[in-house]
């Protein structure tokens, strides 16, 4: 793949002799060998690291378990609780979709959500085509009707006055398959309404304060109702889906939350995007700007601000920043609407979190959604991962009639963490890597990588279809991601060495390759090399359902 992209791009720039071509191909095979060796080293290091830390992690589960224990001789839960199969904490995208899915499979589900009113958020508004296919698989695609959801067929990429259009490779799918963008709150409310119509779903407003543990097994939750009354609920399986601000995740995983940037959200009204039915990504300085339509008359704008601190909204610093730094870099067709949105004053901010999945398998409980795993929202992959996880969990639970053997169920559900990895890790790694590549940098090597990425995608054909199929969730394969990522890097090196390489440009090319490795390998390490690339070597991959 890397060789093909290098040859095609280079051929369009210069003619060269057979000797030059031979030298270039030799260089690329050497680079490919180095990349393969690095991947092998990372894999072996990951295996060693897992063996060293496995025993310590199992002890940490118990010492860090922030749950409320109760006496082992406590009276049995009331009849209503005995009949509950699953408690779901949180009714966002993951929680509401999971409630509908499990209820349709005959499970009795109790959902406890902190606030059942419609929320107004600035993220979770773009569902990739791969996520839409999962929504169809779960039978929830009708939740997108009646909320002015907009069809999305790809992206338009802008940089330094140039732009290119990257369309999703949808030729093999039904005409209805595309991305969808919408108001997040409206979508969630539709799923909650659907869940509430199911007779075996109990949807309740309340705040879960702790998990109830007995001898290392989670047996339910303690929560406060809407009226402030302290209550307990019991079920053989508790699934925590309480979002990115989860106060329960420390009981069930080892969270390593990173906040690389913040989104500043605006709502543009009564204007059209230059490329209809496409999201727009502006490779601005210092970091990307996103535009996509979320209703018939509204366009969401998300301005990425690196770091955890943003200019103050209250004293006017944010408005000044948006007008002086951001506005000059957006397409002229959107300029006046952008300024009008700033003057209107409805400016919102949201920290962008990333957190690799690092579970502590605990009998009676499971983590899902943003409480479990987060990635930079630049690529809009969060809902696709959540819905894919629900499909995996549904298929694992379907053969089981009885969920009451907590330890056996926990051991069986360890396969969930392995089966979800290839899809989730591909989307997570792409989001983290693409964000770093798309951010402006004073480093010449990083600038070359950014320019090479834009030009590589502009080539079209397999050079754009491959990466966009990864981004869309239609082909979430880790190896394809790594191949295209290094194809971009090799393409960038090739441009530096042609027509006549110089020591300075060769050194810049070497730094580009090292920089590319420094971007993607740490992300792969955090995701887990073995689970990501070799899931079939993990014993849990083959775990059979317990006999009831």
Q: Which pLDDT tens digits describe the chain residue by residue (548 residues)? A: 444 443 344 333 333 343 343 344 344 444 445 444 455 544 444 444 443 333 333 323 332 333 333 333 233 444 446 689 999 999 999 999 999 999 999 999 999 999 999 999 999 999 999 999 999 999 999 999 999 999 999 999 999 999 999 999 999 999 999 999 999 999 999 999 999 999 999 999 999 999 999 999 999 999 999 999 999 999 999 999 999 999 999 989 999 999 999 999 999 998 999 999 999 999 999 999 999 999 999 999 999 999 999 999 999 999 999 999 999 999 999 999 999 999 999 999 999 999 999 999 999 999 999 999 999 999 999 999 999 999 999 999 999 988 999 999 999 999 999 999 999 999 999 999 999 999 999 999 999 999 999 999 999 999 999 999 999 999 999 999 999 999 999 999 999 999 888 999 999 999 999 999 999 999 999 999 999 999 989 888 877 888 75
Going by C-beta distance under 8 Å and a sequence separation of 6 or more, which residues neighbour residue 102? Answer: 85, 86, 88, 109, 394, 397
Q: What is the distance between the alpha carbons of residues 260 and 66, in angstroms, rounded to a whole number?
A: 27
> Which H, E and C letters describe 32-51, residue by residue?
HHHHHHHHHHHHHHHHHHHH
Please count the other Cβ atoms lying within 10 Å of the Cβ belonging to residue 179. Answer: 29
Q: What is the distance between the alpha carbons of residues 88 and 110, in angstroms, rounded to a whole number?
A: 6
Q: What is residue 75's predicted lDDT score, i.e. its pLDDT?
A: 33
Closest CA to 144 of 155, 133, 158: 133
Q: What is residue 55's predicted lDDT score, i.e. its pLDDT?
A: 36
Closest CA to 341 of 353, 355, 330, 357: 330
Backbone phi and psi for residue 156, each to the nearest 5 degrees, phi listed first: -110, 130
* Cβ pair 294, 181 in contact under 8 A: yes
Q: What is residue 270's predicted lDDT score, i.e. its pLDDT?
A: 87
Preceding omega of 499 cis (within 30 degrees of 0): yes
Q: What is the distance between the alpha carbons of residues 490 and 28, in angstroms, rounded to a whole number?
A: 7
Q: What is residue 516's predicted lDDT score, i.e. its pLDDT?
A: 97
Which helix (H) or strand (E) covers residue 479, if one does?
Answer: helix 478-497
Q: What is residue 548's predicted lDDT score, i.e. its pLDDT?
A: 59
Q: What is residue 544's predicted lDDT score, i.e. its pLDDT?
A: 82
Q: Is 538 helix (H, G, I), strand (E, B) or coil?
A: coil
């Amino acid at each position: 793949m890397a060789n093909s992209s290098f040859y095609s791009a280079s051929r369009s720039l210069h003619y060269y002799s057979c000797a030059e071509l031979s030298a270039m191909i030799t260089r690329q095979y050497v680079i490919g060998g180095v990349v393969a060796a690095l991947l092998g080293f990372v894999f072996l290091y990951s295996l060693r690291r897992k063996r060293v830390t496995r025993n310590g992690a199992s002890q940490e589960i118990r010492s860090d378990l922030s749950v409320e224990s109760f006496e082992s001789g406590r009276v049995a839960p009331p009849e209503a609780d005995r009949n509950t199969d699953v408690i779901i904490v949180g009714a966002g995208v993951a929680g509401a979709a999971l409630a509908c899915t499990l209820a349709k499979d005959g499970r009795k589900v109790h959902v406890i959500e902190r606030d059942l009113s419609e929320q107004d958020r600035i993220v979770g508004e773009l569902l990739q085509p791969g996520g839409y296919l999962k929504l169809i698989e779960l039978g929830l695609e009708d939740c997108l009707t009646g909320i002015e959801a907009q069809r999305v067929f790809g992206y338009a990429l802008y940089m330094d006055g140039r732009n290119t259009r990257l369309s999703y490779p949808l030729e093999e799918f039904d005409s209805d398959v595309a991305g969808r963008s919408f108001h997040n709150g409206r979508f969630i409310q539709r799923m909650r309404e659907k869940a509430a119509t199911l007779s075996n779903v109990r949807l309740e407003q309340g705040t879960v304060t702790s998990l109830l543990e007995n001898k290392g097994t989670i047996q339910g939750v303690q929560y406060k109702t809407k009226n402030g009354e302290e209550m307990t609920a019991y079920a053989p399986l508790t699934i925590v889906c309480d979002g990115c601000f989860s106060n329960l995740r420390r009981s069930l995983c080892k969270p390593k939350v990173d906040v690389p940037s913040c989104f500043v959200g605006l709502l543009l009204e009564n204007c059209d995007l230059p490329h209809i039915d496409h999201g727009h990504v502006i490779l601005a300085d210092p970091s990307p700007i996103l535009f996509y339509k979320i209703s018939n008359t509204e366009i969401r704008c998300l301005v990425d601000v690196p770091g955890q601190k943003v200019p103050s909204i209250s004293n006017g610093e944010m408005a000044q920043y948006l007008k002086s730094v951001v506005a000059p870099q957006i397409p002229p067709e959107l300029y006046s609407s952008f300024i009008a949105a700033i003057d209107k004053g409805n400016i919102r901010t949201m920290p962008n979190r990333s957190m690799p999945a690092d579970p502590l398998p605990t009998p009676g409980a499971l983590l899902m959604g943003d409480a479990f795993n987060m990635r930079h929202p630049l690529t809009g992959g969060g809902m696709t991962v959540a819905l894919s996880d629900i499909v995996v969990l549904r298929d694992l639970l379907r053969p089981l009639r009885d969920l009451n053997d907590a330890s056996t169920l926990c051991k069986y559900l360890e396969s969930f963490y392995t089966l979800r990895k290839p899809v989730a890790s591909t989307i997570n790694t792409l989001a983290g890597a693409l964000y770093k590549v798309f951010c402006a940098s004073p480093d010449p090597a990083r600038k070359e990588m950014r320019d090479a990425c834009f030009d590589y995608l502009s080539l079209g054909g397999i050079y754009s279809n491959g990466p966009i199929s990864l981004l869309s969730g239609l082909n979430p394969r880790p190896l394809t991601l790594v191949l295209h990522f290094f194809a971009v890097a090799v393409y960038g090196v090739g441009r530096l060495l042609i027509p006549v390489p110089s020591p300075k440009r060769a050194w810049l090319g070497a730094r580009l390759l090292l920089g590319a490795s420094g971007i993607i390998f740490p992300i792969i390490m955090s995701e887990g090399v073995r689970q990501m690339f070799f899931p079939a070597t993990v014993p849990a991959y083959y775990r059979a359902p317990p006999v009831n």
